[in-house]
Amino acid sequence: MSFDVANLAEKLPCFTDHDGQVVLVTGGGSGIGRSIALRLAAEGMKVAICGRNADRLAETVRLLESRGGKAFTCACDVGQPDQVARLMESVVRALGPVDALVHNAMNMSFAGVDDLRLETWEQTFATACRGGYLLARQVVPAMRDKGRGGIVFISSVGAQRAHLPGLPYDAAKAAQESMTRAMAIELAPAGFRVNGVAPGGVRSRDREITEETLRHPHIPLRRSGTPAEIAAVVAFLLSHQSSYITGQTIYADGGTTAQLSPPGIFV
């Protein structure tokens, strides 16, 4: 069944052109970021991960190395220019110039207009947008020199369909998608691509993903997604198989954003 395939996806290499390339995955300590790191390592990439929780990063590295992958980890707040600069220097020393960037780090901040604090708003945008820009600014020169490379921003269905409450998370993700398009157009002549992946409801905290834990009657496919399914889209977008795709955000959401309302409302 589809959820079984999703659980196996990070163990099934599909894109031989990834072999030996260096990728940086932000927010790689858990959930979708961890699964992206595991999948890209399975594809033969040398993986660097960063985040704020050292214990979670260490667990991802343990899982990755237990499967034969190569990994490097560094704690980093991607919204801070000095920390991003140190991160990139460390990654290059450890693994070499970065061939691909996956910006997954995000503050899961959901608040309404009345109770949203300005500090929360600014921190959320700092991670999603300022962090994305700072990271891209660091990796672009090496990609330009090679004439190839890839950047993937992890967005959300909240960029198109509001959560309730959804500020500032939804606003930051919408801004990040706009940045994806603008950056893709600017960098296309240099020979590399910028895209996004927008997950819908993803089940990432269960120790065991089963048909029962994935069941979700309000999603058209009638189930939540898994981190491995999002990671599979990332692997595709960074591969030569997607060579004519840039400036796009792929919605991996089980049909959520295509649906006007949950089943039964207009029946």
Strand 150-154 relative to strand 70-75: parallel, antiparallel, unpaired? unpaired
Q: How far apart are CA 252 and CA 239, in angstroms?
A: 17
Beta strands in 76-129 (DSSP E): 100-103, 110-111
Whether 34 and 63 have beta carbons less than 8 Å apart is answered as: yes
The DSSP code for 215 is: B
Q: Is 234:39 a contact under the CB 8 Å cutoff?
A: yes
- Residue 142: both structure tokens together: 């090496």
CB 229 within 8 A of CB 178: no
Q: List the catalytic residue out of 133, 169, 244, 251.
A: 169
User: How many whole angstroms separate alpha carbon 252 and alpha carbon 31?
Assistant: 15
Backbone angles phi, psi at 147, to 5 degrees: 75, 20
Question: Where does 1-70 have alpha helices with state H?
Answer: 2-8, 31-42, 54-66
Instruction: Give yes or no: 169 in active site.
Output: yes
Catalytic residues: 169
